[in-house]
Amino acid sequence: MSFMTMLTKKFAMPDPAEALPGRADAIEPSEAHFVNGHSLTGPYPDGTKTVLLGMGCFWGAERIFWQLPGVHATAVGYAGGFTPNPTYHETCTGRTGHTEAVLVVYDPETVTLETLLKVFWENHDPTQGMRQGNDTGTQYRSAIYVASDDELEIAERSRGAYQDALKGAGIASTITTEIKVLDQFYFAEDYHQQYLAKNPGGYCGIGGTGVACPVGLHQGA
């Protein structure tokens, strides 16, 4: 494969037949959440729900969500692609099809999915396709992966509302966020989990459009 072909592939999803083979053994976090001490892998408390959110580099994205009231735990990993149990290095090649994602475990009695999505939309630019700022490649694409058709409807409705908000602010770009029902999440390596709590001066590429999202303004935190 030529260099130019490899470069192009990073900006387009690989064909499943071309994806890296991965492995049978999963990466399992060996420690509890660095900030709140909760289990990353569960079992989670009764009544909690989960959503997977891709906003570019998962270090900064995870920090946003672990600070929200009602969020029980967060973890970073890979989702939306084809390679089973990928590594960080493999995901960065663009040949797994995965995006960097944050697993958010939350109590819907305290913080609603609509409110989490409001935070999601406002803290990155969902119109950039296979990139987020200076971070480029399929692993940085914007994504919302939910657990049910009902949640899919909520996510799609929130996308429409934020698209309208962008238009109202004079931004003509179209939202490229991938939204689908997905229950497969692969945990990232230990050193990525709660990275910015362990390394406060570490890289954080998170940045929004400056446009407020009307979704969830009167709900949750």
Catalytic residues: 57
Torsion angle (degrees, nearest 10) of CA 36, 38, 41, 46? -130
Torsion angle (degrees, nearest 10) of CA 107, 113, 114, 115? 50
The CA-atom distances, in angstroms, between 89 and each of 8, 86, 125, 195 are: 18, 8, 24, 17
Residue 143 identity (one-letter amino acid): A
**Sign of the alpha-carbon dihedral angle for 93, 96, 97, 102:** negative
Residue reference for tokens 């480029």: 136
